[in-house]
Amino acid sequence: MSLKVLTILGIIANMIAVLPVAEAQTTSLATCLPEFDWMNDSRNQSPCVVAAYMQGACTNGEYIVQPLAPSYHYIGPTVKQDNPCQCSTVVYSLMSACGMCQNRTIEGWSAWQTNCSVVYTQQFPESIPFGINVPGWAYLDVVTKDTFSAAAAKADICK
């Protein structure tokens, strides 16, 4: 083989080796209790996984949902993080479900959106990422009662 061919093969081999590193990481390290299985999407993924993908839509597909320690809850974006995905009630609902399914508490929508310059009520500002099916309950109203409601979400599935 000529040196040129070897060089090209070398470049291709490098590209293949680099690919997994460049691949976006959108995942959840949090695990849900089995009694919250009903919160899974139709691909059998927990709300924490769905929430990770949705938040990754604003951060180049990179987002890891960390588990919550006892007596902690997820909070909305900081001023610096202020990004449209996290300022959507859809993400708030999914992250609330993710907190609840770990047997943790949640915060109200008004607290969550404190640092948001623009909020997206019952809508999501980006294209839905591939790999998830967002449950319908994530689009329910959380503004009126200022909270995500697991009861309302469950009722929405059964309707």
Ligand X SMILES: *[C@@H]1O[C@H](CO)[C@@H](O)[C@H](O)[C@H]1NC(C)=O
* Interaction of residue 27 with ligand X, rule CB under 6 A: no
Judged by beta carbon, residue 17 or residue 70, the one nearer ligand X is 70
User: Of 24, 29, 37, 62, which lies in the binding site for ligand X, with binding defined by CB under 6 A?
Assistant: 37
Quick check: 158 binds ligand X (CB under 6 A)? no
Coil/strand/helix, residue 13: helix
44 forms part of the interface with ligand X (CB under 6 A): yes
> Positive or negative CA dihedral for 43, 146, 156, 116?
negative
Please list the alpha-helical segments (H only) found in the chain.
3-22, 47-56, 89-100, 109-112, 150-158
| Helical packing angle, 89-100 and 47-56, nearest 10° | 150
Structure tokens at 60: 């180049």
HSE-CB for 71 with a 13 A CA cutoff:
0
Helix (H, G, I), strand (E, B) or coil at 120: strand
Position among 111, 118, 155, 157 found at the interface with ligand X (CB under 6 A): 111
Amino acid letter, residue 107: E
User: Is residue 79 near ligand X by the rule CB under 6 A?
Assistant: yes
Contact region with ligand X (CB under 6 A), list: 14-22, 36-44, 121-129, 130-138: 36-44
Binding footprint of ligand X, residue count (CB under 6 A): 16
Residue 77 Cβ vs ligand X, minimum distance, rounded to whole Å: 6
CB of 105 to ligand X, least distance (A): 9
Cβ-based nearer residue to ligand X, 103 or 117: 103
Cα–Cα distance between 119 and 86 in angstroms, integer?
Answer: 9
Of 45, 59, 121, 122, the one binding ligand X by CB under 6 A: 45
Type of residue at 123: Q
Positions that interact with ligand X (CB under 6 A): 33, 37, 40, 44-46, 49, 75-76, 78-80, 103, 111, 114-115
